[in-house]
């Protein structure tokens, strides 16, 4: 099968290569001595890629710290189940699915991938594979940050950093739908995009004073660093700073600070795709390329706004 692999951690996306790799062995997968209990093989139709995942340790080593290169990046997928592993329940061969793969196993920039069945959710027939793949990571991250960790409720105010990006635009839409007042941030060039995705105000982080926002109930921070530190002072008593760029260095005086890593969740994927079908949430795709053109797509001079999606199959 065709797959994108990486072997050189220092090379970044420039070190990506399109190669031939062995296909997962369905017969072995279905045997008691095969792969992990409950795995399935998915014929990948579309794959998402997160721009900084080549900096993640899990791209290069397994859970025991052992080198696992050449590794296949990509963790978001939409496709069709082609084989069931031993002990698998809840899915069937030929079923359309989408979901998030394990961080320390070969990923989705390939024609086939082995995934734990519990990490996948049914993808309705009227949702395009590219759309399905594009909302997995951003949707789950936004959902978990807002509702699980941020405890967002209707009538609250939310500051969403990077509101024009893949995660930020999803957080903006979900927060608005939940009845929150959303303030987005970013560079001025991203202002209209953030507003189009539902932000009711926009703060230019290069020209406006962040502190002029006043107090908010929830900060959704994708940046960390100085922006995250300054944002802690904006959280009102009882509010929450939710960070996805690592543990906050500064914590709110009278509120909570939470950092988290997104996890697969079939139920949440179902909620997200229902909103996509209803038109309540839309994907933020910046570029779509084929698997043959994936290396070039990930090495553009300027990173596209929104999610880069690879169509593995037409």
Q: What pLDDT score was predicted for residue 35? A: 57
Give yes or no for residue 34 having a pLDDT over 60: no
pLDDT of amino acid 304: 76
Per-residue pLDDT tens for 148-187? 999 999 999 999 999 999 999 999 999 999 999 999 999 9
Q: Secondary structure of the chain in the HEC alphabet?
A: CEEEEECCHHHHHHHCEEEECCCCCHHHHCCCCCCCCCEEEEEEEEEEECCCHHHCHHHCECCCCCECCCECCCCEEEEEEEEECCCCCCCCCCCEEEEECCCCCCCCCECEEEEEHHHEEECCCCCCHHHHHHCHHHHHHHHHHHHHHCCCCCCCEEEECCCCCHHHHHHHHHHHHCCCEEEEEECHHHHHHHHHCCCCEEEECCCCCHHHHCCEEEEEECCCHHHHHHHHCCEEEEEEEEECCCCCCCCCCCCEEEECCCCCCHHHHHHHHHHHHHCCCCCCEEEEEECCCHHHHCCCCCCCCCEEEEECCC
Most confident stretch, 26-30, 32-36, 184-188: 184-188
Tell me the pLDDT band of 86, cut-offs 50, 70 and 90.
confident
pLDDT at 45: 98
Instruction: For residue 72, give Cα distances in angstroms to 13, 55, 133, 216, 300.
Output: 12, 14, 16, 41, 20
Residues in the chain: 314
- Does 274 score more than 80 pLDDT? yes
Of 43-57, 145-159, 259-273, the least confident: 43-57
| Residue with more model confidence, 31 or 165 | 165
- Does 140 or 300 have the greater pLDDT score? 140
Instruction: Return the pLDDT at 31.
Output: 61
The larger pLDDT score, comparing residue 25 to residue 132, is at 132
pLDDT of residue 85 exceeding 90: no
* Distance of alpha carbon 51 from alpha carbon 170, whole angstroms: 17
pLDDT at 248: 93
| Chain position carrying tokens 């960790």 | 149
Q: Kindly indicate the confidence band of residue 302, based on its pLDDT and cuts at 50, 70 and 90.
A: confident
Mean pLDDT of 208-225: 95
Q: Please tell me the predicted confidence (pLDDT) of residue 51.
A: 84
How much of the chain exceeds pLDDT 90, in percent? Answer: 88
Question: How high is the mean pLDDT of the chain?
Answer: 94
């Amino acid at each position: 099968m065709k797959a994108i692999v990486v072997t050189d951690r220092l090379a970044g996306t420039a070190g990506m290569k399109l190669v031939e790799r062995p296909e997962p062995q369905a017969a072995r997968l279905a045997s008691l001595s095969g792969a992990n209990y409950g795995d399935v093989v998915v014929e990948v139709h579309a794959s998402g890629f997160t721009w900084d995942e080549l900096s993640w340790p899990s791209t290069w080593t397994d859970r025991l710290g052992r080198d696992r290169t050449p590794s296949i990046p990509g963790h978001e997928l939409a496709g069709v189940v082609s084989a069931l592993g031993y002990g698998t329940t809840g899915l069937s061969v030929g079923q359309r699915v989408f979901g998030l793969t394990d961080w320390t196993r070969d990923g989705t920039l390939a024609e086939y991938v082995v995934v734990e069945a519990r990490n996948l959710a049914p993808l309705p027939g009227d949702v395009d594979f590219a759309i399905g793949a594009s909302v997995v990571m951003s949707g789950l991250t936004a959902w978990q940050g807002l509702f699980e960790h941020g405890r967002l409720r209707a009538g609250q105010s939310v500051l969403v950093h990077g509101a024009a990006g893949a995660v930020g635009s999803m957080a903006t839409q979900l927060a608005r739908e939940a009845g929150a007042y959303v303030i987005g941030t970013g560079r001025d060039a991203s202002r209209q995009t953030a507003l189009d995705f539902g932000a009711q105000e926009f703060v230019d982080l290069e020209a406006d004073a962040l502190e002029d926002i006043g107090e908010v109930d929830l900060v959704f921070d994708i940046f960390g660093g100085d922006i995250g530190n300054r944002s802690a002072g904006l959280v009102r008593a009882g509010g929450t700073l939710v960070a996805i760029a690592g543990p906050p260095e500064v914590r709110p005086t009278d509120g909570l600070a939470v950092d988290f890593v997104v996890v697969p969740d079939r139920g949440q994927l179902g909620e997200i795709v229902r909103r996509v079908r209803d038109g309540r949430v839309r994907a933020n795709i910046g570029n779509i390329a084929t698997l043959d053109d994936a290396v070039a797509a990930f090495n553009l001079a300027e990173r596209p706004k929104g999610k880069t999606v690879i169509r593995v199959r037409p």
